Amino acid sequence: VSCIPPPARVGDLVAEVDTPALLLDLEAFEANVALVHGRVLGAGLRLRAHGKAHKCPAIGRRQVEAGAVGLCCQKVGEAEAFVADGIRDVLVSNVIVGAGKAVRLAALAERARVGVCVDSLLQVDQLGSAARAAGTTLEVLIEVDVGGRRCGVVEPTETVALASCIASYAPALRLRGLQAYHGPAQHLRTPEARREAIASAARIAAAHRDALLAAGFTCEEITGGGTGSYPHELGTGLWTEIQAGSYALMDRDYIANQPDAEVRLPAQALEVLCTVITARPAHFVLDAGLKALSTDSGLPAAAEPGWRVRGLSDEHAVLLPEEGARHPVVGEKIRLLPSHCDPTVNLHDWIVAHRNGRVEAVWPISARGALF
Amino acid sequence: VSCIPPPARVGDLVAEVDTPALLLDLEAFEANVALVHGRVLGAGLRLRAHGKAHKCPAIGRRQVEAGAVGLCCQKVGEAEAFVADGIRDVLVSNVIVGAGKAVRLAALAERARVGVCVDSLLQVDQLGSAARAAGTTLEVLIEVDVGGRRCGVVEPTETVALASCIASYAPALRLRGLQAYHGPAQHLRTPEARREAIASAARIAAAHRDALLAAGFTCEEITGGGTGSYPHELGTGLWTEIQAGSYALMDRDYIANQPDAEVRLPAQALEVLCTVITARPAHFVLDAGLKALSTDSGLPAAAEPGWRVRGLSDEHAVLLPEEGARHPVVGEKIRLLPSHCDPTVNLHDWIVAHRNGRVEAVWPISARGALF
């Protein structure tokens, strides 16, 4: 439980919530889960909901109840927070370096099914040594660079070399398959651009899978995909598991994507509730700035039309009413729509889940700040 | 104490610190304190160190030991965290709206000298009612917009009206003076531009002070200034208190200022320690992204020359070695220099203070996430 007190109590009116606070519209969230889970599960794939988007075990449990096979996350500390709160299948969909981190992950495998990615031999050695010492099994996915130019191996020969090293640590390590996530494809604006990027990713992933099979290894899982691209991964017949995360909360940057013809975009379920602290003739100021909203993907927007966000400073947002728009008064509570959910959620310790104007739950963001 | 475990223990080598982690170079920090405190106190002004930069009571106590009259901060929760850890004089250098926040601030005044800013009658009424009910005294500063076009009154008649309202709540409220902080002036790059901005701010603040005096009120304090502009506030004879904060840690954005001829810039004492998790021929990847470093003031830079930061995503930084630069290996630890200290510190629960390559202290960032 967080050291920061919650900004609301169950049963409060949303208007009574202390500010700034992260709001989750439960009806939008539930519709988003129904939409994306229905689509992915309907296509016969597994959905592994990405917990890095919300960092909140209560949300993760609802995703598992709605058919997700488990959660993925990016940090060992996030995996620990999810397992501590009842998630029994976690994948660290990221390469992990550090003997201490490997030891923690190996220990976690006593309490849950734990997967992790690798793209170099050092990682395999650290994970294998730790799991061997702990007497547990870590399931390993070889991360392939399918277009992100970030982590991941490039040559199929590297994948085979890693698989051999993983096999040498059996039963402490077990090769599950490939991590094939194309990050930049998520934010390509047109369906055509996303389709092309995922088709290219599929060709690359298939080459690595074929190299594994040709060398006598298995490849039971190819995991990847995200909120922007998942309709395209579904159609390739290659991926077995989709890692979408942002679909649950959504943000302005994903809403800016042109939807695929056959698939609706999820709706923005995440807002930041703010209070007007200063009202001048030409602008007004809210009590939420860079410490409550991320700006890496652009400024947030006001939920109510007619107000433009001039800018954010550490603790303030300054808004300009357009001509003819109403001018709010000091003390009024208004809502901002985050441009990027993941780093915005990471700034808050609590998320206030509401329905019909009332607070239904206040959930700790238990994996917030789990940087290592 | 935070729920996130600390990334290091006292006595560890810096190279053993888990990553990503916030590092404080104690020698640079101490030199920065000596430089700025010496300059401000030497000019006969008070220094009120801005705690929003570091959010860390252990750093705040060292600033008070080095002559600061107390701390300022921007949120009631930050003030509570500082008072809980032994700071006895805090100023919320921001306007506060909300009956619940006013009640908490009034309660805090039982344990410390507490100041707060106002720029509207609603705030005065909320603070006055709360302090009256609590039987405490809050010291009030009227915030004047001296150039930031954010919070603050504009007309001297507004200042007089607020002073009258504050007086009506005596002894629960006591007028201390004016808050006159020029935010944009801090980051003007040339000394001439900063001098001009502060000269303009001084003219505005003087008009408000004169209106108070003419109406029979006192104005014992004019507080403001920051790391970028403080040499200029010192010279005006108007300000009584300087609110610099970033000077303690510093960041790339402040280092980009051209120094004033007669005053050295403080040195960058804050770094983020990262681990290389992937190394490819043309790039390498660190385990620190948007959840460990803010980018509102630009990308961080590598402390070691020859490496350019290509970009940050949620959990990763991708760096490019320039021609001739060395290529680091997986597992190597390297340092990034944050572009903006305040929101970067706010992403971490601990700060690792080091000297001569060893961890000397690991301090909780107790006011992190104190959003309301």
ipTM: 0.97
pLDDT band at A2 (very low <50, low <70, confident <90, very high): low
A318 touches chain B (CB under 8 A): yes
φ/ψ of A320, rounded to 5, equals -115, 120
By C-alpha distance, which of B296, B295, B230 is closest to B259?
B230
Q: Which of A2, A95, A287 sits opposite B278 (nearest CB)?
A: A95
| Alpha-carbon separation of residue B59 from A311, B9, B52, B63, B82 (angstroms) | 30, 18, 11, 6, 10
Q: Distance (Å, rounded) from C-alpha B218 to C-alpha B176?
A: 8
* Residue A197 confidence (pLDDT) above 60: yes
Q: Which of B7, B97, B100 sits opposite A287 (nearest CB)?
A: B97
* Residue B263 confidence (pLDDT) above 90: no
Average pLDDT over residues B242-247: 97
| Alpha-carbon separation of residue B6 from A41, A77, A342, A366, B364 (angstroms) | 40, 12, 23, 16, 8
State both tokens at B225.
């200034």
The 3-class SS string of A17-52 reads: CCCCEEEEEHHHHHHHHHHHHHHHHHCCCEEEEECC
Average pLDDT over residues B157-164: 98
> Which residues on neighbouring strands pair with residue B182, listed in sequence order?
none
Helix H segments across chain A?
A: 26-42, 57-65, 76-84, 99-108, 121-134, 156-168, 191-214, 230-236, 252-255, 341-345
- Whole-model pTM? 0.97
Amino acid at B11: G
DSSP strand pairing (B270-279 vs B284-286)? antiparallel
By C-alpha distance, which of B121, B185, B130 is closest to B153?
B121
Cis peptide before A5 (omega within 30 of 0): no
* Residue B2 confidence (pLDDT) above 80: no
Q: Distance (Å, rounded) from C-alpha A140 to C-alpha B311?
A: 27
DSSP string spanning A48-116? EEETTTT--HHHHHHHHHTT--EEEESSHHHHHHHHHTT--EEEEEEE---HHHHHHHHHHTTTSEEEE
Sort out which chain A residues have CB atoms less than 8 A from B330's CB and list them: 97, 120, 122-123
Q: Distance (Å, rounded) from C-alpha A341 to C-alpha A338?
A: 6
Average pLDDT over residues A357-365: 98
Judge whether A153 and A178 are in contact, CB under 8 Å. no
Q: Distance (Å, rounded) from C-alpha A148 to C-alpha A228?
A: 14
Average pLDDT over residues B184-206: 97
pLDDT band at B235 (very low <50, low <70, confident <90, very high): confident
Q: Distance (Å, rounded) from C-alpha B124 to C-alpha B180?
A: 18
* Inter-chain CB proximity A4 and B369 less than 8 Å: yes
* Residue A347 confidence (pLDDT) above 90: yes
pLDDT 10s digits, A293-302: 999 999 999 9
pLDDT band at A25 (very low <50, low <70, confident <90, very high): very high
pLDDT band at B3 (very low <50, low <70, confident <90, very high): confident
Sort out which chain B residues have CB atoms less than 8 A from A287's CB and list them: 97, 372
Terminal-to-terminal C-alpha distance of chain A: 18
For a pLDDT cut of 90, what percent of chain B falls above it?
97
> Cα distance from A39 to chain B (closest Cα, Å)?
26
Please state which of the ranges A64-68, A156-160, A260-264, B321-325 shows the lowest mean pLDDT: A260-264
pLDDT band at B207 (very low <50, low <70, confident <90, very high): very high
Report A:15-44 residues touching B (Cβ under 8 A): 18-21
Q: Distance (Å, rounded) from C-alpha B210 to C-alpha B274?
A: 53
Average pLDDT over residues B109-115: 98
Judge whether B343 and B296 are in contact, CB under 8 Å. yes
Neighbours of B210 (CB within 10 A): 12
Report A:270-299 residues touching B (Cβ under 8 A): 275-280, 283, 285, 287-288, 290-292, 294-296
Average pLDDT over residues B24-34: 98
DSSP strand pairing (A21-25 vs A270-279)? antiparallel
* Pairs of residues, one from chain A and one from chain B, whose beta carbons lie less than 8 Å apart: 169
By C-alpha distance, which of B275, B265, B206 is closest to B236?
B206
pLDDT 10s digits, B53-67: 999 999 999 999 999
Report the residue of A277, A333, A339 to disrupt the B interface, i.e. the one with the largest count of B CBs within 10 Å.
A277
* Inter-chain CB proximity A278 and B101 less than 8 Å: no
Residue with tokens 């029979």: B216
* Residue A166 confidence (pLDDT) above 80: yes
How do the residues of chain B divide into helix, strand and coil, expressed in percent and rounded to 5? 35, 25, 40
Sort out which chain A residues have CB atoms less than 8 A from B98's CB and list them: 18-19, 275, 331
Helix, strand or coil, per DSSP, at residue B127: helix
pLDDT band at A238 (very low <50, low <70, confident <90, very high): very high
* Inter-chain CB proximity A296 and B295 less than 8 Å: yes
* Residue B159 confidence (pLDDT) above 60: yes
Sort out which chain B residues have CB atoms less than 8 A from A187's CB and list them: none
Average pLDDT over residues B229-233: 96
User: What per-residue confidence (pLDDT) applies to A235?
Assistant: 86
Neighbours of A171 (CB within 10 A): 10
> Which residues on neighbouring strands pair with residue A90, listed in sequence order?
A71, A114
* Inter-chain CB proximity B277 and A154 less than 8 Å: no
CA angle A275, A52, A159 (to 5 degrees): 155
- A262 or B4, which is more confident? B4
* Inter-chain CB proximity A285 and B74 less than 8 Å: no
Average pLDDT over residues B97-121: 98
DSSP strand pairing (B113-118 vs A307-312)? unpaired
B162 touches chain A (CB under 8 A): no
> Which residues on neighbouring strands pair with residue A113, listed in sequence order?
A89
Q: Which residue of B has its CA nearest to A151?
A: B278
* Inter-chain CB proximity A369 and B346 less than 8 Å: no
* Inter-chain CB proximity A277 and B96 less than 8 Å: yes
Which residues have CB under 8 Å from A77's CB, separation 6+?
A367, A370, A371, A372, B4
* Inter-chain CB proximity A98 and B4 less than 8 Å: no
* Inter-chain CB proximity A75 and B315 less than 8 Å: yes
Amino acid at A191: P
State both tokens at A195.
């389709």
Please state which of the ranges A252-266, A339-353, B219-233 shows the lowest mean pLDDT: A252-266
Query: A191-214 and A156-168 are packed helices; what angle lies between their axes, rounded to 10 degrees?
Result: 50
Which residues have CB under 8 Å from B322's CB, separation 6+?
B306, B307, B308
Please, what is the average pLDDT of chain A? 97
By C-alpha distance, which of A323, A255, A336 is closest to A293?
A336
pLDDT band at B150 (very low <50, low <70, confident <90, very high): very high
| Alpha-carbon separation of residue B100 from A335, B77, B326 (angstroms) | 19, 12, 56
pLDDT band at A107 (very low <50, low <70, confident <90, very high): very high
User: What per-residue confidence (pLDDT) applies to B273?
Assistant: 98
Average pLDDT over residues B119-139: 98
Q: Which residue of A has its CA nearest to B364?
A: A3
* Residue A1 confidence (pLDDT) above 60: no
Query: A99-108 and A121-134 are packed helices; what angle lies between their axes, rounded to 10 degrees?
Result: 50
User: What per-residue confidence (pLDDT) applies to A72?
Assistant: 98
Average pLDDT over residues A165-193: 97
Amino acid at A349: D
User: What per-residue confidence (pLDDT) applies to A48?
Assistant: 98
Q: Which of B3, B285, B291 sits opposite A343 (nearest CB)?
A: B291
**CA trace torsion A344, A348, A351, A357 (10° rounding):** -80
| Alpha-carbon separation of residue B40 from B31, B115, B230, B241 (angstroms) | 14, 21, 8, 9
DSSP state, B5? P
Neighbours of A88 (CB within 10 A): 13
User: What per-residue confidence (pLDDT) applies to A261?
Assistant: 79
* Residue B69 confidence (pLDDT) above 90: yes
By C-alpha distance, which of A282, A219, A255 is closest to A341?
A255
DSSP state, A314? S
CA B211 to chain centre: 30
User: What per-residue confidence (pLDDT) applies to B261?
Assistant: 80
Q: Distance (Å, rounded) from C-alpha A236 to C-alpha A233?
A: 6
By C-alpha distance, which of A59, A366, A22 is closest to B2?
A366
